[in-house]
Amino acid sequence: MLKAVILIGGPQKGTRFRPLSFEVPKPLFPVAGVPMIQHHIEACAQVPGMQEILLIGFYQPDEPLTQFLEAAQQEFNLPVRYLQEFAPLGTGGGLYHFRDQILAGGPEAFFVLNADVCSDFPLNAMLDAHRCERHPFLLLGTTANRTQSLNYGCIVENPQTHEVLHYVEKPSTFISDIINCGIYLFSPEALKPLRDVFQRNQQDGQLEDSPGLWPGAGTIRLEQDVFSALAGQGQIYVHLTDGIWSQIKSAGSALYASRLYLSRYQVTHPERLAKHTPGGPRIRGNVYIHPTAKVAPSAVLGPNVSIGKGVTVGEGVRLRESIVLHGATLQEHTCVLHSIVGWGSTVGRWARVEGTPNDPNPNDPRARMDSESLFKDGKLRPAITILGCRVRIPAEVLILNSIVLPHKELSHSFTNQIIL
């Protein structure tokens, strides 16, 4: 019997995802046509013996989250529950706080997945590795180039046994090209080191002269408090994968993740990919179109396009490398490239909305998506264009490398700007 825990964070996280996270919790943002964490749940539901999936986070259980949980339970015929933290508890605090719910029923092991990762989720392979040689912690790892590895948790392994000998979260100098994917398989005894951290935090808080300055006994960081401390003690092992993997920290990385998932649909969900049909729009590459969307036959879509519920795409529209969200309208002959069009937004006739992709280097197989800040030297970096919720773009204007906050009605063209 197995369980899975998905760590979804809270509203204080995901600031690099704005303005998209203003309208919907980041874990529910549509990536390749379905909410981000649905990819996680689908992967967990396919593991034999999976009995329950728990979501842990600090979001209020509002209507979109509640509706998603109800729909997921019906679709996958599995209990899917949300456990709300009383305060942000870090990547390990929620696991310890809700340990009784996680261990209820006596699971053999439980998966732990960060919500903001895109992956093919080789959970069955991880389970096979765990059953061959059981240890408290099994981490999924992949490789990155020397420079980009500094942005992730770095793992030094024993190449024969795959034991984690050394772990450093975002090191200042090169440690290893093996990085932490944020996907784990824990034995029940893995919660004991979390208890030790909790008790140590309690003692530190009692000894601290200014108790308001300490982080709180319940706050536990898996990476720094557990992995770094236990590396080299025979408790943590790594399972390497060469499958797809990327973080989803920003809107640009969501667009890249959408491309990866759309490509994977060819194997996992071919029914989700649009087909070219007589009298229908021209489809180039991998494209997802929600069944309720209305797309004109002269539109050209793809590659790597996702069109949401109730979207209207007019005659002669060109869409490429973009996500168009629920209820948006693209009027006749608009061109949308490397962009995200927000919920209920309208792009006028003959308008052009274009961004600059920040994709990994295609000539480096170990290159990863850079999660850079929006600004450099006080200027907005060239990046994908994002239209927030209910933005109106007039006819015949150009919006290039810009971010438009929700409910704005523009009157002229913009380049490399944030429109407040």
Interior angle at CA 191, CA 190 and CA 195, nearest 5: 130
Instruction: Please give the average per-residue pLDDT across 315-340, as a whole number.
Output: 97
Q: Which of 23, 252, 3 is nearest to 118 (CA)?
A: 252
- Model pLDDT, residue 206: 54
- Model pLDDT, residue 420: 82
C-alpha to C-alpha distance for 253 and 169, rounded to whole angstroms:
21
Q: State whether the Cα torsion 55-5-8-126 is positive or negative.
A: negative
- Model pLDDT, residue 13: 53
Q: Give the residue extent of every domain in the chain.
A: 2-247, 274-415
Instruction: Please give the average per-residue pLDDT across 144-159, as a whole number.
Output: 93
Report the chain's mean pLDDT, rounded to a whole number.
Answer: 91
Q: Which helix (DSSP H) or strand (DSSP E) does residue 369 occupy?
A: none
Q: Which of 182, 157, 141 is nearest to 366 (CA)?
A: 141
C-alpha to C-alpha distance for 258 and 230, rounded to whole angstroms:
35
Q: What is the CATH number of domain 274-415?
A: 2.160.10.10
State pLDDT tens for residues 170-194: 999 999 999 999 999 999 999 999 9
Q: What is the CATH number of domain 2-247?
A: 3.90.550.10
- Beta bridge mates, 224: none
- Model pLDDT, residue 62: 86
Q: Indicate whether 372 pLDDT > 80.
A: no
State pLDDT tens for residues 4-36: 999 999 886 556 777 888 888 899 999 999 999
State pLDDT tens for residues 258-278: 999 999 999 999 999 999 888
pTM above 0.75, yes or no: yes
What length is written for the chain?
420
State pLDDT tens for residues 187-242: 999 999 999 998 888 877 655 544 554 456 678 899 999 999 999 999 999 999 99
- Model pLDDT, residue 110: 98
State pLDDT tens for residues 73-98: 999 999 999 999 988 899 999 999 99
